[in-house]
Amino acid sequence: MMKRLQLPLRSSENGFLLILMLVQGFVVLTILMGVMTLGLYNLGAAKRSTYTTNAVYAAEAGADRFMYEINQSGSYTGTNTVCPITSSGSNPVTLYSNAQGRATYETCVTSGTIANEKIVYAVGKVYAPASSVTPKSTKKVRLIIEGTPSGGYVIQTGPGGLVMSNSATITTGPVYVGGFLTMSNSSRIGSAASPVAVSVANQRCPVPVNATWPQICPMGTQNNPITITNSARIYGDTKANGQITTTGLSNPGLTEASGVAAVTLPDYDRDGQKAAVPAGPVHNISGSAASCSGSQAKTWPANVKITGNVSLSNSCNVTLSGNAWITGTLSLSNSSQLRLAAGVTTTPTVMIDGSGGITMSNSSVVATNTNGIGANFITFYSTASCSPDCSTVTGSNLNSSMNVQTVSINNQGLAASSTFYARWTALTLSNGGNIGAIMAQKITLSNSGNITFGSSSSGGSSSWDVRYYEAL
């Protein structure tokens, strides 16, 4: 049998295979280097992102601490002696220091452009390793905060009670509820660090309603005026007539189940204000003449009577010189502003008689003057035949009136140092806002994680709240 002839490879073929192997090796090496470079870049980016995020958290922690301290003492000025923050006057506070690194914050404060306003700066720095003297990341935040002078109850209701839902939060107090208190979803009064005193009178008897209504319910009748569901909670000293269940109450929780007095909502000298209106066209104007829109600016004289409905809209400005009496309704919307005149030193009262009362919406503002003066808004409508000039409303008339809404504040209405009072009716506050105090026969708070009120329980002369946040 013929054997297969085997010939050796030629040298040129040997060279070709060698070149091919070298090219393949170079390609593989290039890919590996690219993957390694990309991996190292992504690792570095991840580290930088972590440093940046932690620096922001450190700055915000400093801002949070500043807010806590200034609400304990209105003279608190932050950690640093120079503001805005520079290398001078530096006094950093170490937030944490461990094997992964170190984080610090610094804070300072300057006066704002209007009364009761301050500008807070906070700087967060992250170092790695912890012994490093040069930060890996530095981040700054700026807050504009507004103070509300201390007063009485920040919330006071009649027998209609207080209803809180969604994320509605009351951060300062004290709170007085004449009837019942209902809380649901994640609504909250106070916090573990800053409890708020709550008193509930359970003044909602007899049932059914008769001419003697409202009275405090005797023990055993209409028990548990506080109802808390979902994750809602009250942190604070809670006193409630007839309360048996303690669900959702802490710090210290329910301390008394009797003895809460029936506190009458305050009266007002309505007749005196009406009589103080001078004769003549200057102090007796129509609702259309008092209204404004767009770039308009108007001034209401002190002791003015406005006949009809008043509308402030689209960033217009009205200066309030003193007491005002509106026979119709008052509406503020779309960044409109009602500002107290510079020379006003006593809080004026705006009386509103119309069944629609007062509405604030879409970032409208009641601005204080340089003396820190706001305004008191009182609606007088009721379902009684004597409305709006009733001296008292009780029984079935009050029971029906307390469900009529005459004060509505929503979509970030701002009125620090101002009080809103629905004398015989209901008030609704939703979607945020900064309010001095609210009073009504019935109050509903909803859809609001950042409602803030003035306070008499704060350690400082004012209760300070964040009006604006900015990352620099």
Q: Per-10-residue mean pLDDT for the chain, 472 residues long?
A: 50 63 70 63 62 92 89 82 88 90 95 78 94 93 74 83 92 90 94 91 95 93 95 96 96 95 89 96 97 95 98 96 98 93 92 96 87 91 97 95 94 77 94 79 80 43 70 84
Q: What is the pLDDT of residue 297?
A: 95
Residue 45: the pLDDT is 58
CA-CA distance, 396 to 76, in Å (whole number)? 51
Q: Please state the three-class secondary structure of the chain as a single string.
A: CCCCCCCCCCHHHHHHHHHHHHHHHHHHHHHHHHHHHHHHHHHHHHHHHHHHHHHHHHHHHHHHHHHHHHHHCCCCCCCCCCCCCCCCCCCCEEEEEECCEEEEEEEEEEECCCCCEEEEEEEEEEECCCCCCCCCEEEEEEEEEEEEECCCCCEEEEEEEEEECCCCEECCCCEEECCCEEECCCCEECCCCCCCCEEECCEEECCCCCCCCCEECCCCCCCCCEEECCCCEEEEEEEECCCCCCCCEEEEEEEECCCCCCCCCCCCCHHHHHHCCCCCCCCEEEHHHHCEECCCEEEECCCEEEECCEEEECCCEEEECCCEEECCCEEECCCCEEEECCCCCCCCEEEECCCCCEEECCCCEEECCCCCCCCEEEECCCCCCCCCCCCCCCHHHHHHHCCCEEEEEECCEEEEEEEEEEEEEEEEEECCEEEEEEEEEEEEEECCCCEEECCCCCCCCEEEEEEEEEEC
The pLDDT assigned to 259 comes to 93
pLDDT at residue 430, as a whole number: 85
- pTM exceeds cut of 0.85: no
Predicted confidence at residue 312, as pLDDT, reads 97
Closest CA to 292 of 349, 355, 342, 337: 337
Looking at residue 263, its pLDDT comes to: 86
Closest C-alpha to 266, from 348, 372, 173, 153: 153
Looking at residue 461, what is its pLDDT?
Answer: 45
Q: Quick one: pLDDT at residue 10?
A: 52
**So what's the pLDDT on residue 416?**
74
Contact 419, 439 (CB under 8 A): yes
Of 83, 88, 92, nearest to 58 (Cα)? 92
pLDDT at 35: 61
Q: How many of the other CB atoms lie within 10 Å of CB of 96? A: 14
What does the angle CA 92 – CA 95 – CA 100 come to, to the nearest 5 degrees?
A: 115
CA nearest to 105, candidates 85, 131, 88: 85
Q: Are 451 and 172 in contact (CB under 8 A)?
A: no
**Can you give the pLDDT at residue 182?**
97
Q: Are strands 462-471 and 137-149 parallel, antiparallel or unpaired?
A: antiparallel
CA angle 462, 465, 470 (to 5 degrees): 140
**Beta-sheet strand order (sheet of 101-111):** 93-98, 101-111, 117-127, 137-149, 462-471
Q: What is the pLDDT of residue 456?
A: 35
What integer pLDDT is reported at residue 216 of this predicted model?
Answer: 96
Q: What CA–CA distance (Å, rounded) separates 285 from 173?
A: 39
How do residues 318-350 score in pLDDT, each as one tens digit? Answer: 999 999 999 999 999 998 999 999 999 888 999
